Every structure is written in C-alpha cells, then in structure tokens.
Structure 1
Amino acid sequence: TSVQIMELLKEISKDKLIIMVTHNPELAEKYSNRIIRLLDGKVVDDTNPYDRNIVEPIENKKGKGKKAKKPSMSYLTALSLSLNNLMTKKGRTFMTSFAGSIGIIGIALILSISSGAQLYIKSVEEETLASYPISISRNSMDMTSMMTSMMKENKSDGTDDGKIHSNNIMGSMVNSMLTQLKSNDLKSFKSYLENDGKEINDYVSDIKYSYSTPLNIF
C-alpha cells in the first residue's frame, strides 16, 4: 500500500535524499520535512526554503575512503536466474525455440539447394564439354553472317509486276562463305597456352592438338 511504501521511504531518508512527486497533500504533510508546491512550472510555496547563511557547505570528501564497487552478480547466479526464468515460462520458451529452429532450418535448406544446383550445373557443363569439346581450327567461318544473308535472300522484295524474277541464293551463299572465311593465328594461341594461359588453364581439363600431314604423292 502507499502507507507501507512511505514508511520504507522514511527509513531510507535517514541516509539518502528522497525527492517525491505526489498529489496527495496528506501524505506529504505527514512524511516530508520540506514541501515545494508548483503551479504551471513555477514555485508557489516552499515550507523550508534554502538559506545559504544557515546551511553549512558540505566538505569535499572526494578521494577519501574506498571507492564503492559497482553492483554485479556472479556468472552462476546469472545462469541460474536465466534458467529459472525459462522454466517458469515454458510456453513462450518453446514457441521462441520452435520459431528460431524453423528459421535456421529454412536457411540451411536454401543454402543446400543453392549448393546442389551449382554442383549439378557444373557437372552438366563438364559432361557437355566432354561430349562436344570446343574446337579451334586454322580456318573458321562466321556462320551467323552466312545464315543472316540466307534469310535476307529468302525474304520477298514485294515485287508484283507479273514477271518471274531470279533469286541467286547459291551465289549469295558462296560469296558469304568466301567473305566470312577467317584465319586464326594458332601458333600464337598455342604459345599462349603453353607459356601463360592461366585464365584458361583453370577451366580446362585436357588440350589436344591435331596436325594436318601433307601427303606428297607421286
């Protein structure tokens, strides 16, 4: 009750300064030795005002006596209090643990699926390269340009004059094959692979060279 609280504060006030805000004037008159009344943030009454001529200054006792230690509890005490708190609230502890375990399991599943997908993609790439290796020959042809040229030849030009017009598809294909034929510098590329080639060698499992043998038949 409020009376019991005031009795406790009265005992504490023997050694400590107690400042209390209350709207009960009876408790204030009974237990306090100084009452300051405020109205709209201004002091309107003070039963025991401060007088510098009467009150003696408090001597500076800094540095005297032992320094008070900060209150603390031991590790075992804190652990036992935590366990007691968990046991008294079993329902909340179970729900918190269950929700946390769901989150951890979900993260583990996502990581495992991601890792498995990456390993599967890597294995498919390796199998594909084993079946269809990358081949670089001395002469190569730009098939994209040739197919684009063929598509243009197959398109209708919109001519409708009642006459038959020729469309030289084969000639265009031959011209595309001749113009899009490129020569690769395999000698420099081979030297790069054998001397440096760090950017490529990390992703290569095997390199095979094929040489064309000229047949001198008489």
Structure 2
Amino acid sequence: MDNTRTFTEMMDRYQSEIWQAIGDTFTMVGISIAAAVLIGLPLGTLLYLTKKGQLYENLYLAGVLNSLVNIIRSFPFLLLVVFLIPFTRMVVGTSIGTEAASVPLSIIAIAYYARLVEQALLDVPRGVVESARSMGASGLQIVFRFLYVEARSGLVLGLTTSAISFISYSTVVGIVGGGGIGDFAIRYGYQRFETDVMVYMIILMIILVQAVQFTGSLISRLIDKR
C-alpha cells in the first residue's frame, strides 16, 4: 500500500466506484428523507394530537403509536436491517441492493422523525391552539395554518438532524449490498488495508454532514420569524 497516495491519484484509480458510492448514498438518504416527510410528519402530528389534553385526545391510539415508534427506535439498526429482510424482499422484490437497503432506512427514518415532529409541536405555546379554536378554525386549519407555521423552524432542524443520522445509518447497509460511501470505505479501505482510501472517504462524509447541517440551520434561521 502506498501511504503517500494523493486524493487525485485515488480518484483516478477508483473514480467510477466513488461516484457510484456517492450516488448510492444520495439515493438511500433521499428516499429516507422522503419517507420521513411523507409518513413521519403525519405520524408525529398524530402522536401530538392524540396526547392527553390535545385536540384529538385518544389515549389508546396515542399509546399504540408511542409503543410502535419506541420499538422501532430501540432496534439496533444493523439488527433491524436483518430482521426486515423478508419484508424488504416482499416490498421491492429483492433483499440486496440500494433499493433494498432503503426500506429499513426509511422505516427507521419515519419513526425517528415522527418523534422529533412531536417534540417540535409540543414546543408550540398552547395559546396558539386555543386562539385558533376560538376563531373557529377546523382541525386541519389548526394543524397547517397554526401548528406547522409556529413549529416550522423546529421541524426543519429536526429534519436536518434526521438527515445526518440517515447518512450515518447508510454506512452499515453494506450487509445487504446497499453500497454508499461508508460501504466503499470499508470494502476498499479497511478490507484492502488501504488506510488512505478510508481516510479520504471519512473526510468526504464529514464534508457532506457539515453541508447538510449548515443548509438546514440556515433555512431554519430564515424561516424562524419569532
């Protein structure tokens, strides 16, 4: 192994593999973010609305949803990937590849973001909801015109935190052939004893995480009108 190899030399040697790994990471994280927004956001909202003293109080439903979210979040992600292989095969027709890896990643994303959504909505002053109800706003109007508007900064920060976690989780889906930057670092860096390749990939991951954090924080500040 040549420990003095530069980043350019590494790119020349593994260019196609690196771009494939980057594409796989963006695909997995993109799918998980979409799942978090499309399913995790409504689920988190329902968790909030069915809590004691809230608009649609239903302690039984709240208990079921809370238990479901807690169970999913308590699973070590690697074990969740293995546990969901039959379900993954049923959903996408295979248990190997980037699409297959996106299934368990999406499920953990939904549960993870749902909890952050619930917390963001709980931070909204109760007076906001009471004011909306006194004005005759419907349930949907209260959610979309008041709760989401007041909590928008926290929702964006929660999604940013979630996205960073998804990037981290994506590094272990090599067990089902998911690919990605982390998998590339393990296969081409660690397993081939090419430490410089692993270091460069770690740096790339750090840059990606910092970019996501900076973008999310910036958007959160811009839309926070409090």
- TM-score range for the pair, normalised by the shorter chain length: under 0.3
TM-score, L = length of structure 1: 0.22
Q: Which has the larger radius of gyration?
A: 1
Q: Which structure carries more strand by proportion?
A: 1
The structure that is helix-richer by fraction is 2
Greater RCO (CA < 8 Å, at least 6 residues apart): 2
TM-score by length of 2: 0.22
